[in-house]
Amino acid sequence: MDSLNIYQRKLVLFSGKGGVGKTTIASAFALSCARRGERTLLMELNTKDKVSLMFGAGHVGPEIREIEDNLFAVNVTPDAAQEEYAVMILKLRVVYRAVFENKIMRAFLKAIPGLNELVMLGKAYYHVIEENDDGTPTWDKIVVDAPATGHGIFLLQIPSVITSILGSGHLYEEAERILNVMQDPKLTAINLVTLPEEMPVNETEMLLESVRDELKMPLGYVIINALYPQLFSEEELKMMDENRPDLEAGDLVANLIDAAQFRNMRHQMQQGYVEQVHERIDLPAAHVDFHFVDHVDFPTIDSIGASLAEQMGGE
């Protein structure tokens, strides 16, 4: 698969099965963009805030806040996105409160299928096209940590569903504008994050088909996360095999050899799934090493970001 410079896209999304480290990868990529001098917005979508812990920053909520030089973050909620969107149209917040905080109106809005998802995507779209007073782009990069596979597909399908049902009107026009940006290969790419394990690899393969056939979104990389590096040469492994039978159970050296052999077995098993990814998922691949830390902290994010930049065209 030919290489792809993902850093040339403005709207970069990350999706994958829950628990594969998607938020970590999205955050690391966003930091690597900021390190390049790009004014970057990292967007979480209505989820428990994880970004603040990784960056050692204050709580990230629905208001955009700076968490590192050139890097800003926001956790978009449907209510906050809806209010922001409505105020942009109505111009006055007092009008928004009079209309949208009415109990009957709020009940009506909740009954509109997909509206919550549309306004959250609409916020991402707005920041992609947002400009300063002098006409220059407000943001160089928008990085979206999309929901896990099933919910993520549902979320990203909403604009196409609305445009297929409605033929005109403001909601149709808004969905069409969002869809045009999401499907523009010069602006957008969605990356798939997986682990070198059976279920995540299988689910990533299905996710690839959904993105191509249903969402028709431009694809970026498949990112294989949490890989155990190879620590021992073939000669060293052979030496361990030859000497292990001569050692008594419980012996320190025997325990160390057992641990080394288990680590190598884990590495070999992962490599089998890496080969499956390369064979079955026809996207350029980036590999991310497992980091042996109690929790993902800023140095870990920084290291992963540098690795992603080297592999994905941003060095």
- What is the rounded CA–CA span in Å between residue 71 and residue 65? 9
Tokens encoding 108? 């009506």
Q: Is-contact 44 73, C-beta < 8 A?
A: yes
Give the pLDDT mean for 139-164: 92
- What is the rounded CA–CA span in Å between residue 11 and residue 189? 7
Burial profile 106-127: b = 16 or more Cβ within 10 angstroms, e = fewer: eeebeeeebbbbbbbbbbbbbb
Question: 277-306: per-residue pLDDT in tens?
Answer: 999 999 999 999 999 898 899 999 999 999
Q: Residue 62, Cβ neighbours under 10 Å: how many?
A: 16
Q: Is-contact 216 183, C-beta < 8 A?
A: yes
Q: Tell me which CATH code domain 6-311 carries.
A: 3.40.50.300
Tokens encoding 124? 């991402």
Give the pLDDT mean for 64-75: 97
- Residue 232: its pLDDT value, please? 77
- What is the rounded CA–CA span in Å between residue 284 and residue 69? 29
What is the domain partition of the chain in residue ranges?
A: 6-311
Question: 222-248: per-residue pLDDT in tens?
Answer: 999 999 988 777 787 777 776 666 666
Question: 82-129: per-residue pLDDT in tens?
Answer: 777 655 654 444 444 554 455 544 544 454 456 778 888 989 999 999
Q: Residue 150, Cβ neighbours under 10 Å: how many?
A: 13
Mean of the per-residue pLDDT values for the chain? 87
